[in-house]
Amino acid sequence: MKKILVTGCNGLVGKFLIEKLLRHQSDKMYLVIGADIKESNINLSDLYKNRFTYEKVDLTNELDLIGLFDKHNPDVVINAFGIKGSPIRAKTQPVDFLYPSFKINTEIINQCANTDTWLIFVSSVGVYAPAEKFVEDDVWKTLPGQADWFPAWSKRMGEILLEACKVQYGYEKWAIIRPANIFGEYDDFNGKGTVIASTIKKVYEATDSIEAWGDGTPVRDFVYAGDVANAIIKLYENRLHTTINFGSGEEVSIKEMIEMIIEVSKKDISIIWDTTKPNGDLRRLMDVSKQEKYGLVTQTKLKESIYKVYEYYTKSIR
């Protein structure tokens, strides 16, 4: 059985990856190693426990990270590690994004290149400059937008290092996936997570109205974390050496998204728009032609996935 190391395994996409790799319906079964700085919050049935190992480790410690590779000698690494946070945190605490990302991503890429190990590098929509549509080859023609300046470089530097390893060492056993705005059950609902998670919390707690920033007109491309995990697994299993977007191809305004959550909640709630607060980029839509070419399409409709996440949240706090 192939051994797959998943970093950031307690995270939004990481937990889906662990579940899907262990339950994978194919002629292959995997041994899965999950690594995260936090205590494990992954609950598995006894059926899967003998194929899963959890490592609580600070990956910014280079010796610990190298030791993780030496101990398990993985066949595949899925680097789902990432720093979550609001745009305000990104502006006021940029070191929190850059320092751990540079240290962890650099050494993971170094280890994989040195051992010719397959690596799936999970990047972000944030690497793009504001544009009508985000096309994979356009990233290096521009600079990141100011709203995503620091988080963007935390991902861009990993991407450019992979290209450098290809040039100097001929290392090609890697793929880069740039998901759109991810959301899902394993998000951070304390107000510091994604816009959908934060809005779900607001709606659940509201009695008559909620406040929202801007005017609701900005357009986003939202993707369900479970679909992102499926795409990552396919990238490896099809051995696709590529850089690829992963979006829904569907344009949804912030206003439409909030109204969808209110509809799912079955509450009679109004939205108070605070137009003194920033809107953010007006349009963030992925070009999905490349992902469609490889059959990496989203499987869950937005309203269906919002319903799943809302139900998960309400049950988790009861």
Return the pLDDT at 318: 75
Return the pLDDT at 181: 93
Convert the pLDDT of each residue in 38-81 to its tens digit.
998 888 877 788 999 999 999 999 999 999 999 999 999 999 99
For residue 223, what is the enclosing H or E element? strand 222-224
Convert the pLDDT of each residue in 192-236 to its tens digit.
678 999 999 999 999 999 999 999 999 999 999 999 999 999 999
Q: Which option is the CATH number for 2-186+222-249+283-299: 3.40.47.10, 3.40.630.10, 3.40.50.720, 3.40.50.10420?
A: 3.40.50.720
Convert the pLDDT of each residue in 85-141 to its tens digit.
667 778 889 999 899 999 999 999 999 999 999 999 999 999 999 888 999 999 999
Comparing 26 with 304, the larger pLDDT belongs to 304
Convert the pLDDT of each residue in 234-254 to its tens digit.
999 999 999 999 999 888 999
Burial-class residue 219 by CB neighbours within 10 Å (0-12, 13-18, 19+).
Answer: middle
DSSP 117-140: -EEEEE--GGGSPS-SSB-GGGGG
Return the pLDDT at 26: 60
- For residue 25, pLDDT over 80 is answered with no
Return the pLDDT at 258: 97
- What would the two tokens of residue 190 be? 């304390």
**Nearest alpha carbon to residue 151 among 110, 107, 96:** 96
Cβ proximity of 118 and 236 under 8 Å: yes
Percent of the chain surpassing pLDDT 90: 79
Return the pLDDT at 27: 64
Return the pLDDT at 86: 67
- For residue 291, pLDDT over 70 is answered with yes
Cα–Cα distance for residue pair 69/284, rounded to 1 Å: 37
